[in-house]
Amino acid sequence: MGARPTLLGILLVGATTALAGCPGSDTDAADAGTTPPDAAAVDASTTPPVDASTSDASTSDASTSDASTSDGSTGDAAADATTDAAAPDGGACGAAAAPTLPSATPDATFWQPDGEVRALAWSDDSSKLVVGGNFTQVKSPDGTMTQSATNLTVLDATTGQPIAGYPAVTGEIDDISVVGDTVYVVGGVTQAGGMARTRAFAFSLSSKTVSAWAPTFAGTTPFLPNVRLVRATPTAIFVGGYFTSAGGAARTNVAALDPTTGTATAWAPPALGSQAAQDITVRALAVSADRVFVGGGSGIDMTGGDGVRRRNVVALDRTSAALLPWSPVGITPDSVYALDVSGDRVVVGRPQSGDLTAPALFAADTRTGEVCWKTALGNAQGFYRTGVARGVVFGGGLTGTLFTAGSSYKAFALGSGGALGWGADLFTTDGSAGTVEDIAVAPNGAVAMTGNRVAKGALTTGAPKLMVHKP
């Protein structure tokens, strides 16, 4: 993930059905599980509780503007019109940019990590792709060459080859965001470039050195601080996860940090809900020019001054941190795993449980909450990652045994939600379907996807962890 010009990547599995472009209803299903966020399978002494299949991979700093359009006409315009005839482009929320897609065929030159890839971010000039996760080396596409890379690598966008000299990282990387020359990284990090760090660090793309930025985090026992999301802007670094302190100040699960010192800014939102509640972890985060959208499970439960209860997805004022009177009209998603903002739209991705006709992906007006369009999957999976650029919503998820056909990731028109006939499948080395972990859209229109459920070191040329679609 990471800061990219208003990009929005969204996870989708299986066939999708575009519903009418007007406000609808949704079943408020119970959030699955009974334990606090992702704690069960975690060694609390080393890694914060994170479940890659449910963490958000929102891929942009939505406060920035879309970059120049890319060349790509591989979408099926007829399919778009047929799928979403009830919600013409522009829908209930006004006009949106016409969709422009990248190449439908992934580039074959990019080197592949030998373990799990969880986070992606492009440099501001689209020349570099920053890759993070849990791996020890990267391999050439034919498998004949390798280069050491501990949990972090930076690939040349033209050649696909790794650039030597970037820091080794101890601890899994969960999210990445880029602003200017600085790359901000969060996850189960305990050391970067030989220097001790607590869940987060920053480094320079040009000098390749780790900076002095070293925020601290604390959490309640037995759940150590879990910092799973970062959205970098020039004035503040927004982070989300499960914690009770960030940057030396009391903050619960979402915070803004100074981009130079790492200390908490004055931005201090009210509690998102009871810290003891099931699934209070922030799983999705998107930043616009004046709002911060926060999503997660049923533990996110707030009531504003208007007396209206808001659950699972809320909007906070970017200046005052106050809860805003916003919620998607007619929809109360049971969980939110993906959020992205583009113009006047916030795109929301969620799993489907219970009511399979409920929207797994929808776009709403950032001011009024009016639903512009919505899409249902008709199965028990949903959207786990999102990304938007050039009038396109890129989405991906988990293709499992419930699906006889379909893609791990697809593309939809931002204006209407109509499917664009673009996407591909990700598979593990045993041939089973894979999970999309992150989606990142470059300023020049290139789209990077990552997904796998393969044991570390099990990489084969037939099971790419990383797929890059060039403009």
Q: Is the dihedral of CA 169, 388, 49, 201 positive or negative?
A: positive
The residue ranking higher by pLDDT, 349 or 24, is 349
Give CA–CA dist 108/375, Å, rounded: 32
Lowest mean per-residue pLDDT among 50-59, 336-345, 438-447, 455-464 = 50-59
Averaged pLDDT, 457-467? 58
Q: Residue 68: pLDDT above 90?
A: no
Tokens of 243: 């914690």
Element (H, E) at 269: none
| 262-268 contacts, C-beta under 8 A, 24 or more apart | 262/200, 262/213, 262/214, 262/215, 262/216, 263/215, 264/215, 265/236, 267/236, 267/318, 267/319, 267/321, 268/321
Least confident of 64-68, 138-142, 152-156: 64-68
The enclosing H or E element of 290 equals: none
Q: Whole-model pTM?
A: 0.80
Q: Is pLDDT above 50 for 209?
A: yes
pLDDT mean over 319-326: 97
The CATH class that applies to domain 17-458 reads mainly beta
* Average pLDDT over every residue of 171-200: 98
* DSSP state at residue 92: G
pLDDT in tens, 112-125: 999 889 999 999 99
Q: Say yes or no to pLDDT of 329 above 60.
A: yes
Which pLDDT score, from 0 to 100, does residue 398 have? 56
pLDDT of residue 427: 53
Q: How confident is the model at residue 463 (pLDDT cuts 50, 70, 90)?
A: low
- Cβ-contact 267, 249 below 8 angstroms: no
pLDDT at res. 451 = 74
The single-letter DSSP state of residue 77 is: H
* DSSP 8-state symbol, 351: B
- How confident is the model over 415-453, as pLDDT tens digits? 999 888 887 665 554 555 567 789 999 999 999 988 754
User: What pLDDT digit, counting tens, does each position of 227-270 carry?
Assistant: 999 999 999 999 999 999 999 999 999 999 999 999 999 999 99
Question: For the residues 374-402, what does the mean pLDDT come to?
Answer: 70
* In 125-199, beta strands by DSSP E: 128-134, 137-139, 146-148, 152-156, 169-170, 173-179, 182-187, 191-192, 195-196
Select from 121, 146, 137 the least CA-distant residue to 60.
121
Give the separation between CA 201 and CA 191, rounded to whole angstroms.
9
H or E stretch at 339: strand 338-342
Cβ(225)–Cβ(255) below 8 Å: no
- What does the alpha-carbon distance between residue 424 and residue 283 come to, in Å, rounded to a whole number? 25
Please give the pLDDT value at position 395: 81
What is the average pLDDT score of the chain?
77
pLDDT at 291 over 60: yes
Q: Which residue has the tokens 């879990």?
A: 226
* Angle formed at CA 201 by CA 200 and CA 205, multiple of 5 degrees: 140
Taking phi over 0 as left and psi of -120 to 50 as alpha, with beta for the rest, 287 belongs to beta
**Residue 150 pLDDT > 70, yes or no?**
yes
pLDDT at 30: 32
453 within 8 A of 95, measured Cβ to Cβ: no
* pLDDT, position 178: 99
What is the C-alpha R_g of the chain?
A: 20
Percentage of residues in the chain having pLDDT higher than 70: 69
Residue 290 confidence (pLDDT) above 90? yes
Rounded to an integer, what distance in angstroms lies between the CA atom of residue 80 and that of residue 143?
39
Question: Which pLDDT does position 220 carry in this prediction?
Answer: 80
In this structure, are residues 78 and 13 in contact, taking their beta carbons and an 8 Å threshold?
A: no
pLDDT at 110 over 80: yes
Tokens at 457, concatenated: 């070191």
- With beta carbons less than 8 A apart as the criterion, state whether 160 and 448 touch: no
- Secondary structure letter of residue 81 according to DSSP: H
Reference 439, options 361, 358, 383, 391; nearest CA is 383
Q: Which residues of 439-468 are buried (b: 16+ CB within 10 A; e: fewer)?
A: bbbbbbbbbbbbbbbbeeeebeeebbbbbb
Instruction: Work out the angle at residue 133's Cα, subtended by the Cα atoms of residues 198 and 468, and round it to the nearest 5 degrees.
Output: 140
| Euclidean distance between the first and the last CA atom of the chain, given in angstroms as a whole number | 19
Tokens of 267: 């931005």
Residue 73, number of CB atoms within 10 A of its CB: 10
From the list 226, 237, 164, 231, the residue with the least C-alpha distance to 199 is: 226
Q: What's the distance, CA 193 to chain centroid?
A: 25
What's the pLDDT tens digit per position in 340-365? Answer: 999 999 999 987 665 656 788 899 99
Phi-psi region of 369 (alpha: psi -120 to 50; beta: other; left: phi over 0): left
Q: Please tell me the predicted confidence (pLDDT) of residue 433.
A: 54
Strand partners, 368: none
Q: ∠ CA(442), CA(446), CA(449), 5° rounding?
A: 90
